[in-house]
Amino acid sequence: MSRTDESLLEKQPCFPDLRGQVALITGGGTGIGRGVALRLAAEGMKVAICGRRPEKLAETVKLVEERGGEILARPADVGQPEDVAAVIETVVSRFGPIDALVHSAMLMNFSPFEQHTLDLWEASFATGCRAAYMLAEHAVPGMRERGRGNIIFVTSVLATRSGKGGLAYHAVKGAQEAMTRHMAVTWAADGIRVNALAPGLILTWREITSASLANQHIPLGRAGTPAEMAAVVAFLLSQQSSYITGQVIHADGGTSVQLAPPSIRL
């Protein structure tokens, strides 16, 4: 993919039914969360982001506003109940009821098992799973009243595949996918769809062009980008995906479907 194509993914709206809807994105200061914010703003949605680092949130706000989008940011630790409640209150008072919830925030720690601690385990589940529960708890009543809504959890190929490090990360992503299926069945009759996006290796364009990456294990031969993940999110939020719920959509360049890396002939 060329840099020009990447720019189109960020800026070219495809789903007019999203215009005017309200989206809350956790982890919106960096990575996939930032990519989702840029794309949904381009679709004409009113975008709210939260995250732990105010300076990163400000960068996302600047990028969205430069493109003419509507956005608000609130620093928060979504693993804490009081922060979740405050974020929801801020969004609803500024933009109105939440139509789309995208939970992308997560602690990225891939240390070996011997270096894991109980604090890391609990903090990972607080950010990934407790936050998912609390965010849904606050957002779903308004969705049920209006008879529509969307929730997307950003999980990982590591929910069902494994590496040598990051036990807590693997466990959280697996739990999020279980939550996706349960919530989808629970709220389907209320017009609420719940899906998960499972990315593979995702890097920003700066990282891709400045680093020498060994991508021989990826069938498409390269890492993905936040804008490519955001394109999947936009589709899942739109009416073009109206019959999709409870699903985990893998966007991983083919990584999860292979038995061995492309360099190995079986």
Which three-class secondary structure string do you get for 158-223?
HHCCCCCCCHHHHHHHHHHHHHHHHHHHHHHHHCEEEEEEEECCECCHHHHHHCCCCCCCCCCCCC
Selecting among 15, 95, 153, 169, the annotated active-site residue is 169
Whether 169 is catalytic: yes
Going by the DSSP 8-state scheme, the letter that residue 224 receives in this structure is: B
The C-alpha atoms of residue 266 and residue 263 are separated, in whole angstroms, by 10
Whether the Cβ atoms of residue 144 and residue 65 lie closer than 8 Å to each other: no
Residues forming the active site: 169
